Amino acid sequence: MDWKREVIEDPYNSLSEVLLIIAIGVSFFVQSYIGLAIFLLCFLYFRVHKWYLEKIGDGIKIIKKTKRVRLHCDEEGYWDFQVENHGLPVWGASLKLSFRDIVEPTSHPYESYHGNIVEVSVPFSLKKDEKGLVRLPIKGKRRGLCRLTKVQLVIPHLFGSGKVIMDLQEPVPSTMIVFPSPSSVKVFKNRDSNRNGELSSPRSLFFDVFQPIGTREYASGDRFQDIHWKASARTGQLQTKVFAPSTKKEWMIAINLTDRYAITGQLESIIKHTAYLMHLAVEQNISFSLVLNARSQGATPFYYLPSGTGRAHQQKGLELLATLSTDDFTVPFLIVLQHLYIRQLVPHVFIVSGIMNSKEKERLVKISMKQSEIFMLNSDEEQGVVTVWNQILKMPS
């Protein structure tokens, strides 16, 4: 492992060695063997002292194990690091960790610096050829993704006359992610779509072929594959399967992060209200997808979470929201809308948030013509509201 070492010694050690060499020579010249033995032992001490500072810390490695710890705000957890030592035993050292104040230590004293950086010192001791666990109790403070910005190991000399400072030059893949806290939103009354799906709906024109609820007598026009042969053999008349009426319930939440040439000032409130909508969709067993016009290196040039349901899918969406930053590069929202329109990815319910210009509004009108209902998420710090989007555009003169 690549460490940058800095050895700090007492500036008088070198002078003491020179004086000891002179004293050894004088003692040998005057044949004072007791003094010669004492000065030789002192000189040997300084030599061992220097050798110790040059060798201590060699062989210490932080095991690079990719790990992501997920927390909610004010939730407590642990940030663990596996360390092994193949060199000299280390006693009384301290491991200094620096990271952004997205999380904060709960059991160790720490200092805060400019740029929202926190530095905490953890006691560190490890024998030779031993593996150990460094555990830092932490608590989620605010939304975001947290990585170690600096890892420094300070090893003092056994007798306190010097120390070795080792700075890690390689990144540690372990990260902490704090999910955004949801903020309540007044939502529209859920409406059934005109698409076939898997959710039960007594007023739907569609049926879920995987949920048979009974049989009835065969009628002209019934499909051959819907005949229930066992029931037909038992009754002596053709019987047709009856399926539960169902519909497709799906939301797409598309967020425009930009406001002219910068990230919108309502970023945090939009994220909190979006987190609430995802939580609501999971509670009502509604599948949802998430679109953010932040630049991405994936299959699409922007963040796109395909449609899904359940807690695991919600966690993926929360991770996307947690990683957003005011330093992110964005894609024009018009390009995002065009991509969704051309690939026909927009479901029956399309919820958009952010500031829209005239061209983006025109694209929303075209999307609404394909049997999609468009809603607008209006955000502020305390209350979000989802309303039907006003599709009235000015006619060109």
Tell me the one-letter amino acid at 393.
L
What Cα–Cα distance (Å) separates residue 284 from each residue in 200, 204, 209, 250, 348?
12, 17, 22, 11, 16
Question: For residue 241, which of 224, 256, 254, 228 has the smallest C-alpha distance?
Answer: 228
The rounded distance, in Å, linking the Cα atoms of 216 and 195 is 25
pLDDT at 151: 93
pLDDT in tens, 43-60: 677 677 777 778 888 889
Tokens representing residue 128 in the block:
């030779």
pLDDT at 194: 47
φ/ψ region of 57 (left if φ > 0, alpha if ψ in -120 to 50, else beta) reads: left
DSSP-based three-state secondary structure for 323: coil
Tokens representing residue 127 in the block:
């024998």
Tokens representing residue 24 in the block:
């050894």
- Number of Cβ within 10 Å of residue 185's Cβ equals 21
Asked if residue 324 lies in contact with residue 358, where contact means CB atoms within 8 angstroms, the answer is: no
What Cα–Cα distance (Å) separates residue 13 from each residue in 16, 19, 20?
5, 10, 10
Intervals of the chain under pLDDT 50: 192-194, 196-206, 393-397
Long-range residue pairs from 200-203, CB within 8 A, at least 24 positions apart, any chain: 200/244, 200/245, 200/246, 201/245, 201/246, 201/247, 202/245, 203/245
Question: For residue 93, which of 154, 163, 158 has the smallest C-alpha distance?
Answer: 154
What Cα–Cα distance (Å) separates residue 382 from each residue in 3, 184, 316, 322, 386?
48, 8, 25, 19, 14
pLDDT at 202: 47
Asked if residue 165 lies in contact with residue 154, where contact means CB atoms within 8 angstroms, the answer is: yes
pLDDT at 248: 62
pLDDT at 219: 78
DSSP 224: G
The rounded distance, in Å, linking the Cα atoms of 386 and 213 is 36
**Could you tell me the pTM of the whole model?**
0.74
pLDDT in tens, 156-187: 877 667 788 999 998 888 899 999 999 889 88
pLDDT at 204: 44
- State phi, psi for 251 to the nearest 5 degrees: -115, 150
Residues β-bridged to residue 19:
none
